[in-house]
Chains A and B, each alone.
Chain A
Amino acid sequence: MSTNTSPTLPAASTPGRTLAAWWQALPLTTVFVLFFLIPLALVLMVSFWDYNQYEMLPGFTFKNYISVFEGCLSRNESGDLCVTLKTYLSTFKFCLLVWALTLVIGFTVSYFLAFHVKSSGMQVVLFVICTIPFWTSNVIRMIAWVPLLGRNGLVNDFLVGYGMVDQPIEWLLFSNFSVVLAFVHLFTTFMIVPIFNSMMRIDRSLIEAANDSGASGWQTLWNVIVPLCRTGIIIGSIFVITIVMGDFVTIGVMGGQQIASVGKIIQVQTSYLQFPLAAANAVVLLAIVLMIIWALTRMVDIRKEL
């Protein structure tokens, strides 16, 4: 398999410099062919296979897709949506909430760093402070909420202690609330970094020009700064949305393994060795994520801005 990376091999007639470039790009290319492109192709292929309790059976069937969407064309007797639609709706809900929150927080933090912190040394220090937690374990940052939000956690102690509630609030942990909170806690960094990056590239004289022309602070923010850091906003949004769409770890740990998500369904199916079914779910998820990214990139030419 490793020798079959033919598009990366240079033609015999190419000059020496190009040849060297290919040799240099070869290791990276090989990794992405072997561990990214081929696996994706296999997911697509296997999604049309059949399976039994022990093994996958090569073939071509739409069975898996049919069972993914089983009962989705019409509401069932009790008026409920099918599992797939329900799961996607709940995932979209998380996506939208987390996206809105991380965008507002990320934008505000970046705005403060880029336009209100005057010394560039201080800017770098504060920016690094915001990004350090990104390099630490997500699971630890999740379980860190347990002593705060749990039934006997700090928040409940405080609320009960000051008589604001009669008994501990149950929905703080292992709930939709704690899932969204953990997402925001974990992934706001993905908004801050690209938005801050675009803000730092804005020519400061444009803002002065806006001031001189008599624009209010809000007008400058909305008509000058927001359009100019659109690229950063879109890149950050793509990161946050793709993470939430495919997540199963955060929703699993913070939802107390009770909340369904698309990623979780795939993971559970693989643990029952239903690989073709999991692959079909993965293909559907991938198609939806690609459509979201496509729609987002319509709004901005990312290639031009890199």
Chain B
Amino acid sequence: MNSDRRSPAFWLLAAFFAAYVLFLYGPMLVIVVLSFQGPDGGLTFPMRSMSLHWFHKLAEGLGTVDISSALKRSLGLGLTVMAFTVVFSVLAGLAFRKKLRFANVLFFTVVASLIMPSIIVSLGIGLEFRLLDGAIKKMLETFGMESALENYGTALGIYTSALGAHLTWTLPFGLLIMFAIFNRFNPAYEEAARDLGATPWQTFRHVVLPLIAPSVVGIGMFGFTLSWDEIARTTQAIGDVNTLPLELQGLTTTVTTPSIYALGTVTMVVSFLVMGLAMGLSTLLAKRQQAKRDT
């Protein structure tokens, strides 16, 4: 492999790689194409003319399922998870650079959460909130607050249990990225800022943050897209309303029109938009950083 001419092994491996990429993207492409199926078309090829018919059908709603509110819930949860993931990961990333007792225990807990079968985490969070419900009801009963007791439903919800469940999935990624960032980070910049009399906050705000900003955008992207597509950890921890991927999973058994492909295309477009925005923002921040250093 040292010669300049490509060896036969190279071409063999290149063909394997190409086949893998085709395997990876081919089916997704099929979904996108089929979602533009004409009104008479079905779930499979051939295409019977092109139209946006199934997107219109999707906008009208699929049977009893309210797609637009599921979409709003997923967006809201995704953005919240993104914000928490960015803030908590950056803070924890800074903490791990200092002397932190139990740093090992915390690190292994985070990694354990990453490789824990999701159904177990999901079941545990579901149980936690059910037991919490029981405790709250008992308390209301003891204090004789009958009306509050009657109105009380459950603590399970999008911004309680589901948010927690999503964070156990996104934060490990965020923390690992922070480790990667700070492995390459030169502390001399911070020392310089300190020597010039900057407070810890000023050092962070004007020196550290601009330097790590491009990668922090990546953490935000992880946070949003991982939450946007999450199913396994949400199933037992969501309460009585569903996010978009859960609706989608339910629809796989009941919907037999290309509307489901249209829904797939829509969620894919959102994922790609977020990825594209994040990459663009990240490059922009890195460029500005470079420009500042050059002047």
State whether B14 touches A140 (Cβ < 8 A). no
* Distance A271 CA – B89 CA, assembled complex (angstroms): 34
Of A109, A147, A239, which one neighbours B16 at CB under 8 angstroms? A109
Closest to A184 in B: B23
Q: Which residues of B contact A270 (CB under 8 A)?
A: 123, 126, 236
A299–chain B nearest beta-carbon distance, Å: 16
Does B87 make an interface contact (CB < 8 A)? yes
Does A46 make an interface contact (CB < 8 A)? yes
Contact residues of B between 223 and 274, Cβ < 8 Å to A = 225-226, 228-229, 231-232, 235-236, 245, 248-249, 252-253, 260-261, 264, 267-268, 271-272
Of B26, B44, B98, B119, which one neighbours A18 at CB under 8 angstroms? B98
Q: What is the interface size of chain A, counting residues whose CB is below 8 A from a CB of the partner?
A: 89
* Distance A252 CA – B253 CA, assembled complex (angstroms): 10
Choose, from B48-56, B167-175, B206-214, B281-289, the stretch at the interface.
B167-175
Q: Which residues of B contact A10 (CB under 8 A)?
A: 101
Does B118 make an interface contact (CB < 8 A)? yes
* Distance A104 CA – B158 CA, assembled complex (angstroms): 40
Of A28, A137, A246, which one neighbours B117 at CB under 8 angstroms? A246
B225–chain A nearest beta-carbon distance, Å: 4
Does A180 make an interface contact (CB < 8 A)? no
* Distance A24 CA – B105 CA, assembled complex (angstroms): 16
* Distance A126 CA – B165 CA, assembled complex (angstroms): 32
State whether A147 touches B44 (Cβ < 8 A). yes
**A32-B171, A116-B10 known; A39 vs B125 contact (CB < 8 Å):** yes
Does B13 make an interface contact (CB < 8 A)? yes
State whether A25 touches B100 (Cβ < 8 A). yes
Of A40, A147, A208, A248, which one neighbours B34 at CB under 8 angstroms? A147
* Distance A122 CA – B121 CA, assembled complex (angstroms): 39
State whether B252 touches A253 (Cβ < 8 A). yes
Does A215 make an interface contact (CB < 8 A)? no
Choose, from B58-66, B127-135, B142-150, B186-194, the stretch at the interface.
B127-135
Of A24, A31, A185, A289, which one neighbours B164 at CB under 8 angstroms? A31
B32–chain A nearest beta-carbon distance, Å: 9
Contact residues of B between 86 and 101, Cβ < 8 Å to A = 87-89, 91-92, 94-96, 98-101
* Distance A22 CA – B123 CA, assembled complex (angstroms): 30
Closest to B161 in A: A35
Q: What is the interface size of chain B, counting residues whose CB is below 8 A from a CB of the partner?
A: 87
Of A29, A40, A249, which one neighbours B232 at CB under 8 angstroms? A249
Contact residues of A between 84 and 110, Cβ < 8 Å to B = 105, 108-109
State whether A157 touches B45 (Cβ < 8 A). yes
Of B14, B123, B127, B249, which one neighbours A253 at CB under 8 angstroms? B249
Of B27, B264, B275, most buried by chain A (CB within 10 Å of CB) is: B27
Does B1 make an interface contact (CB < 8 A)? yes
* Distance A208 CA – B20 CA, assembled complex (angstroms): 29
**A35-B167, A253-B249 known; A25 vs B95 contact (CB < 8 Å):** yes
State whether B167 touches A42 (Cβ < 8 A). no
Does A167 make an interface contact (CB < 8 A)? no
Contact residues of B between 17 and 60, Cβ < 8 Å to A = 17, 20-21, 23-28, 30-31, 34, 43-45
Of A147, A148, A211, A242, most buried by chain B (CB within 10 Å of CB) is: A147
Dominant SS among interface residues on chain A: helix
State whether A108 touches B248 (Cβ < 8 A). no
* Distance A141 CA – B27 CA, assembled complex (angstroms): 7
Of A130, A142, A143, A150, which one neighbours B24 at CB under 8 angstroms? A130
Closest to B274 in A: A135
State whether A154 touches B109 (Cβ < 8 A). no
State whether A148 touches B30 (Cβ < 8 A). yes
State whether B98 touches A20 (Cβ < 8 A). yes
Does B280 make an interface contact (CB < 8 A)? no
Does B116 make an interface contact (CB < 8 A)? yes
**A17-B98, A139-B252, A141-B28 known; A285 vs B21 contact (CB < 8 Å):** no
Does B196 make an interface contact (CB < 8 A)? no
State whether A32 touches B109 (Cβ < 8 A). yes
Does B181 make an interface contact (CB < 8 A)? no
Does B197 make an interface contact (CB < 8 A)? no
Q: Which residues of A contact B30 (CB under 8 A)?
A: 144, 147-148, 154
Of B34, B109, B123, which one neighbours A279 at CB under 8 angstroms? B123
State whether A43 touches B99 (Cβ < 8 A). no
Q: Which residues of B contact A8 (CB under 8 A)?
A: 102
B27–chain A nearest beta-carbon distance, Å: 3
Does A129 make an interface contact (CB < 8 A)? yes
Of A39, A43, A152, A217, most buried by chain B (CB within 10 Å of CB) is: A39
List 25 A–B pairs whose Cβ atoms lie within 8 Å, in order of A's numbering. A18-B99, A24-B95, A25-B92, A25-B96, A29-B106, A31-B167, A32-B113, A35-B121, A36-B112, A40-B124, A109-B16, A112-B13, A129-B21, A133-B25, A139-B231, A139-B252, A144-B28, A145-B27, A147-B43, A150-B44, A154-B30, A157-B45, A238-B115, A253-B249, A282-B120
> Which 3 pairs from chain A and chain B are nearest by CB?
A246-B117, A39-B124, A144-B27
Taking Cβ atoms with an 8 Å cutoff, the residues of B that contact A are 1-2, 9-10, 13-14, 16-17, 20-21, 23-28, 30-31, 34, 43-45, 84, 87-89, 91-92, 94-96, 98-102, 105-106, 109-110, 112-113, 115-121, 123-128, 130-131, 134, 164-165, 167-168, 171, 175, 200, 221, 225-226, 228-229, 231-232, 235-236, 245, 248-249, 252-253, 260-261, 264, 267-268, 271-272, 275
